[in-house]
Amino acid sequence: MNFKINIKHTYSILILLIWSNVFAQDPASYVNPFIGTSNFGACYPGAVAPNGMVSVVPYNVSDHPKNPLNTDTRWLSNPFVSDNGFMTGFTHVNLSGVGCPDLGAIILMPTTGDLEVDKNKYGTTYSNQVAKPGYYSTTLDKYQIKAEVSATLRSGISRYTFPKGKSNIILNLGHGLTNESGAYTKIVSSTEIEGSKLLGTFCYNKDAVFPVYFVVKFSKPAKSKGFFKFQQPLPGPRSQWSATSGKYKIYRSYYKEMAGDNIGTFFSFDTKQDEQIEVKVGVSYVSIENARQNLKVEQANSNFDKIATQTYNDWNSELSRIKVEGGTKDNRQVFYTALYHILLHPNVLQDVNGEYPAMESDQILRVKDGNRYTVYSLWDTYRNVHPFLSLVYPQKQREMVQSMIQMYDESGWLPKWELFGRETYVMEGDPSIPVITDTYLRGIRGFDIHKAYKAMLKSATTEQANNPLRPDNDFYLKNRYVPFTENFDNSVSHALEYYIADWNLYQLARELGDHKNAKRFSKQSKGYVNYYSRKDHLFVPKKEDGSFIDDFNPSMGENFEPAHGFHEGTSWNYSFYVPHDIKGLIKLYGGKKKFVERLDECFTAKHYDPANEPDIAYPYLFNYIKGEEWRTQKWINTLRKDYTNKPDGIPGNDDTGTLSTWIVYSMMGIYSVCPGDMNYAITTPYFDKVTIELDPTIYSGKSFTIIKEGKQDKDIYIDHMKWNDKKWNSFFINHHDITKGGQLYIKTTPNRPNKIN
């Protein structure tokens, strides 16, 4: 028997063994990046740094018979779906957990043999996947190539281990999730490519278009190189078409650059058995030169293993802000993977020199303080992500709010759903208001709150003809509700979002001493009473004349089908969404008993849908009725089981961390029900001990600890509690109390208590 030692493979195995030993101790070791890659979770398993601009991700959603699930376009909002089995490369710019397609571009694909540039022909099945924070690898079955990828904040790195023979690395710029196909590329040398790719039209907004710039560097000179382009079928009789019409055409190295739709480049090599080629990709949203500088600075004097190790360590540092003890390994994997997903977006936008593309203009500006962030899915994240970041990562949250105010400076409006300096206007409401107000009320400073307040007043009071953020604002300001005027409009959803924004505006006006506007917005925030139907005991769309619509069906809108008055949901998903005035809502429903019965029916009849965020806090609403808090504990315990350590382990679209935030909060045993309200609802924790490390530059306390005494999965109800060794009778705890530091002790029981002891 012959034994042949491969030094490179031995070194790689040694690195993995070292990582495995480290993973046994670190929070990052529990992250399973495959969670959320099925069941419409729209997450990916690729390599990315915390809040990173670049993510190197396997792309397996190409239109191919081995990927049958792509017939459902909702799968196409993310570059990777675990149910698919045919991949066509590694993309370098991506979105995590979003519901519309975009980015998924700058795709590299290694192959062997004769050059093939048609993705459906050069694509392959894959096996032996490994995914950890900052690292992903797989075997490309067709070519027996081991592909490994990692990333820094603004660059990616790939390492391909080739067999002996002819090998190719393809850069396909016409391939990806974006609706834009235009690109430019230039072969700088036998080891370098530069160029740009057009991205945008997120959620089919034709005006939200922007370029991304890149530089690609190879560790080995190419033996041959060139371009390719897909020639669209030409008009006229087929007999007059050129021989390349409707096909890919290859252009050898007598061209130095190319621009157009559906183009790409290829570099070909002669490789020895197990020869490794590293490919480094720098990215910028400002210029090619900035992409080159980002790559130079972030990967200087480094290599693949160093970068992968450093990015893993960065993740471990971020995730260590929260330490959990007890529970099962699966519990910890669900928890830390969710925390990992929270820290993907918003992501850093500025380059290493501080430059970034200004909001809604062609200007290039420079960061003066902190980071400039991008990707604000605010309709989702204002509900829980940003309050969570304020507690655990307040410096990040401060810079995110600062970025939002900068967007107002640059464009004249606060963001709604911002994407790389472009406003997409996706979803409902005026969500910047609750985000900024909540952040300020939590005691985070370092941004211009008076300028932010001015921006809030502008969006809240400007007539609708000149107001891109608040459609239907004229009628709303006069009548305090949005009327139903079309067969499938979003009128109730519009208004409910305005109410919570106006309540936050009332809170901030009062805090800043503007009592006149505080009174005004307080009244506006209670306009939800207009929609309550005493006949249906739910919210029902209302016409301009004040009457409710006829033939109302409260279940219309299930599974994201169009509905009368509601956006991506049913009346059930919205009829308890008044988190800023639960007492008023209880009164509207006819008192505590009737409110509890109707709210409980939402769960027992399976109307609750966590993938539709307006109802995501519903289980915690029982905490507002004395003696009914046990229902919160019961339903949270039931719903937490929908989160698992599997690809389908998120119960719907993660929406840039919103569903992940729900499970992180709920496993810790607290939840921020309403932005702008400083109280957290309390429920039964999953873990024996949770320790949140508080930021000493923002908060006076060192840590906030939650200790549970009771049996896992059996003692699901709270028997009694103590706060800093004193009896605690409330099922709420205030943000300002816990950020001074302290310990919440929770004794649990298997029996449903009538009241807290």
**Mean pLDDT, residues 111-139:** 97
Task: Please give the pLDDT value at position 248.
Answer: 81
Which band of pLDDT confidence, cut at 50, 70 and 90, is reported for residue 753?
confident
pLDDT score for 235: 64
What does the pLDDT read at residue 20? Answer: 40
Strand partners, 149: 136, 158
The reported pLDDT for the residue numbered 686 is 96
Say if residue 358's pLDDT is above 70: yes
Mean pLDDT score, 115-124 = 95
The span from the CA of 480 to the CA of 499, in Å, is 9
pLDDT at 245: 53
Tell whether the model's pLDDT for residue 23 goes beyond 60: no
pLDDT in tens, 274-289: 999 999 999 999 999 9
Count the neighbouring beta carbons within 10 Å of the beta carbon of residue 561. 12
The 10 Å CB-count burial string (b at 16+, else e) for 698-725 is bbebeebbbbbebeeeebbbbbebebee
| Model confidence pLDDT, tens digit, residues 408-467 | 999 999 999 999 999 999 999 999 999 999 999 999 999 999 999 999 999 999 999 999
Check pLDDT > 80 for residue 242: no
pLDDT digit string, tens, across residues 284-331: 999 999 999 999 999 998 999 999 999 999 999 999 999 999 999 999
Over residues 148-165, the pLDDT tens digits come to 999 999 999 999 999 999
Confidence of residue 234 (pLDDT cuts 50, 70, 90): low
Q: How distant, in Å, are the alpha carbons of 412, 430, 655 from that of 433?
A: 15, 6, 19
Q: 3-state class of 528 per DSSP?
A: helix
Q: What is the mean pLDDT of residues 341-345?
A: 98
* pLDDT interval class at 19 (50, 70, 90): very low
- Tracing tokens 């490789």 back to the chain, one arrives at 271
pLDDT surpasses 90 at 561: no
The pair of structure tokens assigned to 308 is 């992968």
Confirm if 269 and 220 have CB atoms less than 8 A apart: yes
Q: In the chain, what are the domain boundaries?
A: 7-317, 329-749
CB atoms within 10 A of CB 232: 11
Average pLDDT, stretch 579-593? Answer: 97
Q: What is the pLDDT of residues 253-277, one digit of tens each?
A: 667 999 999 999 999 999 999 999 9
Q: How far is CA 506 from the centre of its chain?
A: 29
Q: pLDDT at residue 72 above 80?
A: no
Closest-CA residue to 280 (of 177, 171, 383, 379): 171
Q: Are 376 and 469 in contact (CB under 8 A)?
A: no
The amino acid at residue 510 is R
pLDDT of the residue at 15: 44
Do residues 350 and 101 make contact, with C-beta atoms less than 8 angstroms apart?
Answer: no
Q: Which residues does residue 532 pair with via DSSP β-bridges, in sequence order?
A: 539
The answer, yes or no, to whether residue 80 has pLDDT greater than 80, is yes
Confidence of residue 17 (pLDDT cuts 50, 70, 90): very low
pLDDT of residue 13: 41
DSSP secondary structure letters along 363-411: -EEE--SS--EE-EEHHHHTTTHHHHHHHH-HHHHHHHHHHHHHHHHHH
d(CA 440, CA 438): 5
3-class SS letters over 449-508: HHHHHHHHHHHHHCCHHHCCCCCCHHHHHHHCCCCCCCCCCCHHHHHHHHHHHHHHHHHH
% of the chain surpassing 90 pLDDT: 85
User: 7-317: which CATH topology?
Assistant: Beta-galactosidase; Chain A, domain 5 (2.70.98)
Report the pLDDT averaged over residues 490-502.
96
pLDDT at 192 over 80: yes
Give the pair of three-digit tokens for residue 280.
């480094």
CATH class of 329-749: alpha beta
Task: Judge whether 663 and 105 are in contact, CB under 8 Å.
Answer: no
74-88, 332-346, 714-728 — which is least confidently predicted?
74-88
